[in-house]
Structure 1
Amino acid sequence: MSHSVWNSSITYKTGLWRRLEWVAVSVCLFINSGAVFQLLMMYPDEILDDMERAKMRLLKIPIYLLTLIFLAPHVRQLALVAVRNLPFIMLIVLSAVSTLWSVNGSVTLRRSVSLLMATLLAMLITARFTPRQQVMLFGGTFGLCTILSLLLALTAPAMAFAPGESELRGIFTHKNVFGWIACYTAVFAVAMLRDPSPVVRKLGWTLFATGFTGIVLSQSATSLLGGIFAIISGFALQTVARRDGASRLVTQLVLFQVIAIVVMVLTFNLQVLLETLGRDPTLTGRTELWAAVDPWIGDKLLFGYGYAAFWTESNPAVAQIWDAIGWDAPGAHSSYRDLMLNFGLVGATLFCIVLIQAIRKGTVLLTTEPNEGWLWCLLIIGTSMLSGLSETIMLDQDDVLFPTAVMTIAFRYAELTAGLPRHRRVAIAAA
């Protein structure tokens, strides 16, 4: 990597302040993950009432304060990250503006503020940590969460497992949440295995074993698919990165064809696959939920119902959906459906632009600088897209991973091509 290019816009302080920065961001990520505190609030009655939920929201205050404190000295870098991520920033602005037509304006306003603060934390990580440092930051935090969950299973199984259940939830409130934290641990481990440092690679093997142990114990089918996806994608992306010219183009075409075939097979044979694996072919009621949600998406197709406002009790549509499916779904269990409910076609179009640009530029960076940690960004974007089929993760008000991956790619790509003549920028983009 050309360190002079990256560091031309980012000045890294050394000493105590820099160490505090690492600790502060790690603490923010740990709290944002939903670890420990929610479980303590709901244990042992397994219920989170409104008062306890209000207390949980107070935990966001230290995250907000730490984010603002450590961003304050780097306003210029913050502005650079924002300018180089205009489509994504427009999505964040849209979440706040949607208060004007939201079916629950107060909820939209509150949660759009949370989304903004999560984005600012992602900006801080983008501006202050290189991709390789981000691998250590996220991998270490999620790895710690996974290790603590496994230790809790050994020391306090009554808390680590939901009553009457065999699936491990660890230090989280639900096995699917722990499953995805373990999956992310495995994803970052895959990225570490490609690092040039032998020490980092050894740590990667440890985290890989830890992450997959967590995935298996959680018994979460979607996180298992995510872990397998990370392994296959990591190998495929590295294969593309090692080639050049016509050979790289052929490899990319073959890879895209394989992905298209796999997607078609899964789409048309998902029910058979789930039954073969002994899983619920309705995805634990999700297919019934989606059938009930889809007509409501069409009712406000252009701008949606306002950010995070649809799934509130003040919205009459929710009561009808709950009556139809027989349970109180907290969301659509689909990032793409909730995206349409939040923003409609306008937001979905912006999101597609963000996604396409991130994948294209991320692939260029991986091929241009294969040893600088770019693999994790592409793996997280791909894993988020996969998880978005059955979970609402992307553009959640607590999500930091996805915006960090997207903004880091755009930020560095702009650095890489800054000041170059047009024919050189085209050559890099076509690499």
Structure 2
Amino acid sequence: MICIIMLTGALIGPVFAPDQGETPMLRLIWLPVYAIILGLIAARFQRVMRAWPAWLALLGLVGLAYASKYWSIDPAVTGRRVIAMAMTGSFALYLGTAYDGQRLPRLLMQTALVMALGSLVMVFAFPTIGVHQADNAGLWRGLWYEKNQMGIVMVAGATAAAACLAAGDGRWKAPALTLVLTSVLVLATQSKTSLLCLLIGLGLVSAFWTMRRGGPVFTIVCVWLGIVVAGIGIYVFLTEPESILAALGKDPSLTGRTHIWDSLMRRVGERPWTGYGYSAFWGRESIPAAFVRQETGWLVPSAHNGWIDLLVQLGWPGAVAVGGLFITSVTVTLIRLGSAGVREGYWAIAYLGVFLLLSLSESVLLSHASLPWALFLAILARALSPRTAAISTSLAPNPHAAYQTRSRIAAQYAHGPARRPLLRL
């Protein structure tokens, strides 16, 4: 739970780095966390290594990011953050393999409940920290720098809580409380992106749960209706984007995001195959970032789009690699949606939908310290782990079930076609 909270940036960032910059104190705080991560992996090494395809994928991403150090515009930052990305990625793969079935969404739900309660304390007891004071004045931000950060974390918690309820194991009180609190905090941010992600996460969990209970005919009808509605929605958005954005309370430039993207794509055109180095583009002394800020007229902190941010860091090879992993994760998760989906309350496929939408609005891809990216890697690890690991866990919930006594063995063969004498021990 501590490592997950650290990945969200809750409280520690606003206290030790109020200007949102990287400080020596923050680096020191992460060192014991890295030690904990290594200890957890060592304790369950054989289990964690079952997801060896996911480890190879992470190794490839780390290798590409490290190689960018040689053409990075800020090699020192690239070198440090590659290490951080490797460590947090390793922790994500540990989560995906060590916490199978419903255990991972339940852990996320419990962690989100703690952070939701902490955010309420900050909002009402320490409003100078928990509530925006200048820009976005009056909107809640809880334990984080900005309202969007709280919205992202609360959406993850709400989706996990809904999955725990859908799993139907009888433990509903904590998930129900978490779902209510996290949903209220998402609404308090007034973040349209977070609200859409919340609707997608809860909607997918509810849809798959309903289809499972409705039978095969009902499932086919729901899938057909879903495809039709999605097709109509995409057509309307492509033909009348201004109307859709106006209905959502957004201006056609998406609060200036389109201007940022246009400027960034011109920078991508200058280095399409290499990028400017992993996590190096947005430095304070970055000349390419200075051009973007000059063209847009404000101090742009990020691309506000994960895929474009990935392009300026690692070029098209990085974007294609991450896109391939996402497609793989979705495909394998859908293939295993039967028994595995029921056990976890359809959390993985629901969060993948949330993550896709989030990546189009926020810079969450291949992050060196980000909960959304860590959860994506955890889902990838679950998808690429041998199915026998999950099956063996689900078939033997009782640790004494596998123990065969003399009487149990005799009962098994009492009505068999041939009675053989039991071996005398």
Q: Provide closer, same or farther for how the CA distance between residues 314 and 155 of structure 1 changes in structure 2, counting only shifts above 3 A.
A: closer
Note the C-alpha offset of 1:285.
1.8
| Per-residue deviation, residues 139-197 of structure 1 (Å, max 9, x unmatched) | 11122112211222122222211214011011111111011112112111221121121
Note the C-alpha offset of 1:350.
1.8
Q: Which of these residues, 327, 330, 339, is aligned with residue 301 of structure 2?
A: 330
The one-letter code matched in structure 2 to 1:397 is: H
Counterpart of 2:260 in structure 1 is: 289
Counterparts of 2:36 and 2:306, CA distance in 1: 28
Counterpart of 1:387 in structure 2 is: 358
**RMSD of the TM alignment (CA)?**
2.5
Aligned residue pairs, count: 387
- 1:268-347 equivalence runs, <5 A: 268-347=239-318
Counterparts of 2:214 and 2:152, CA distance in 1: 32
Counterparts of 1:324 and 1:234, CA distance in 2: 42
Q: Provide closer, same or farther for how the CA distance between residues 287 and 55 of structure 1 changes in structure 2, counting only shifts above 3 A.
A: same
Note the C-alpha offset of 1:217.
0.8
The one-letter code matched in structure 1 to 2:145 is: T
Q: Provide closer, same or farther for how the CA distance between residues 377 and 319 of structure 1 changes in structure 2, counting only shifts above 3 A.
A: same
Q: Is the 8 A contact 2:159 2:351 kept in 1?
A: yes
In structure 1, list runs of 5 or more residues that go unmatched: 1-25, 419-431
Q: Provide closer, same or farther for how the CA distance between residues 298 and 245 of structure 1 changes in structure 2, counting only shifts above 3 A.
A: farther
Q: Which of these residues, 366, 369, 378, is aligned with residue 340 of structure 2?
A: 369
Counterparts of 1:417 and 1:100, CA distance in 2: 45
- Percent identity among equivalent residues? 23
Counterparts of 2:266 and 2:228, CA distance in 1: 32
Note the C-alpha offset of 1:272.
2.6
Counterpart of 2:19 in structure 1 is: 47
Counterparts of 2:391 and 2:163, CA distance in 1: 25
The one-letter code matched in structure 2 to 1:380 is: Y
Q: Secondary structure at the match of 1:198?
A: coil
Q: Secondary structure at the match of 2:346?
A: helix
Q: Provide closer, same or farther for how the CA distance between residues 241 and 407 of structure 1 changes in structure 2, counting only shifts above 3 A.
A: farther
Counterpart of 2:101 in structure 1 is: 131
The answer to whether structure 1 residue 33 and structure 2 residue 11 are counterparts is no
Q: Which of these residues, 371, 382, 386, is aligned with residue 408 of structure 1?
A: 382
Q: Which of these residues, 119, 135, 142, is aligned with residue 170 of structure 1?
A: 142
Note the C-alpha offset of 1:32.
1.7
The one-letter code matched in structure 2 to 1:271 is: E
The one-letter code matched in structure 2 to 1:33 is: T
The one-letter code matched in structure 1 to 2:380 is: V
Counterparts of 1:366 and 1:188, CA distance in 2: 16
Q: Is the 8 A contact 2:264 2:312 kept in 1?
A: no
The one-letter code matched in structure 2 to 1:171 is: L
TM-score with structure 1 setting the length = 0.82
Note the C-alpha offset of 1:300.
1.8
Q: Which of these residues, 148, 168, 171, is aligned with residue 196 of structure 1?
A: 168
Q: Is the 8 A contact 1:377 1:409 kept in 2?
A: no
Q: Provide closer, same or farther for how the CA distance between residues 229 and 118 of structure 1 changes in structure 2, counting only shifts above 3 A.
A: same
Counterpart of 1:259 in structure 2 is: 230
Q: Provide closer, same or farther for how the CA distance between residues 361 and 239 of structure 1 changes in structure 2, counting only shifts above 3 A.
A: farther
Counterparts of 1:275 and 1:153, CA distance in 2: 30
Q: Provide closer, same or farther for how the CA distance between residues 143 and 280 of structure 1 changes in structure 2, counting only shifts above 3 A.
A: farther
Q: Is the 8 A contact 1:196 1:371 kept in 2?
A: no
Q: Is the 8 A contact 1:96 1:112 kept in 2?
A: yes
Note the C-alpha offset of 1:348.
2.0
Counterparts of 2:316 and 2:97, CA distance in 1: 31
Note the C-alpha offset of 1:121.
0.6
Counterpart of 1:74 in structure 2 is: 44
The answer to whether structure 1 residue 179 and structure 2 residue 151 are counterparts is yes
Q: Provide closer, same or farther for how the CA distance between residues 223 and 268 of structure 1 changes in structure 2, counting only shifts above 3 A.
A: farther
In structure 2, list runs of 5 or more residues that go unmatched: 393-425
- 1:244-255 equivalence runs, <5 A: 251-252=222-223, 254-255=225-226
Q: Provide closer, same or farther for how the CA distance between residues 169 and 343 of structure 1 changes in structure 2, counting only shifts above 3 A.
A: same
Q: Is the 8 A contact 1:365 1:374 kept in 2?
A: no
Q: Provide closer, same or farther for how the CA distance between residues 232 and 358 of structure 1 changes in structure 2, counting only shifts above 3 A.
A: same
Q: Provide closer, same or farther for how the CA distance between residues 48 and 349 of structure 1 changes in structure 2, counting only shifts above 3 A.
A: closer
The answer to whether structure 1 residue 158 and structure 2 residue 128 are counterparts is yes
The one-letter code matched in structure 1 to 2:141 is: R
Q: Provide closer, same or farther for how the CA distance between residues 155 and 348 of structure 1 changes in structure 2, counting only shifts above 3 A.
A: same
Counterpart of 1:13 in structure 2 is: none
| Per-residue deviation, residues 109-150 of structure 1 (Å, max 9, x unmatched) | 111111100111112212321131101111111221122112
The answer to whether structure 1 residue 100 and structure 2 residue 70 are counterparts is yes
Q: Is the 8 A contact 2:140 2:189 kept in 1?
A: yes
Note the C-alpha offset of 1:411.
1.2
Counterparts of 1:264 and 1:170, CA distance in 2: 37
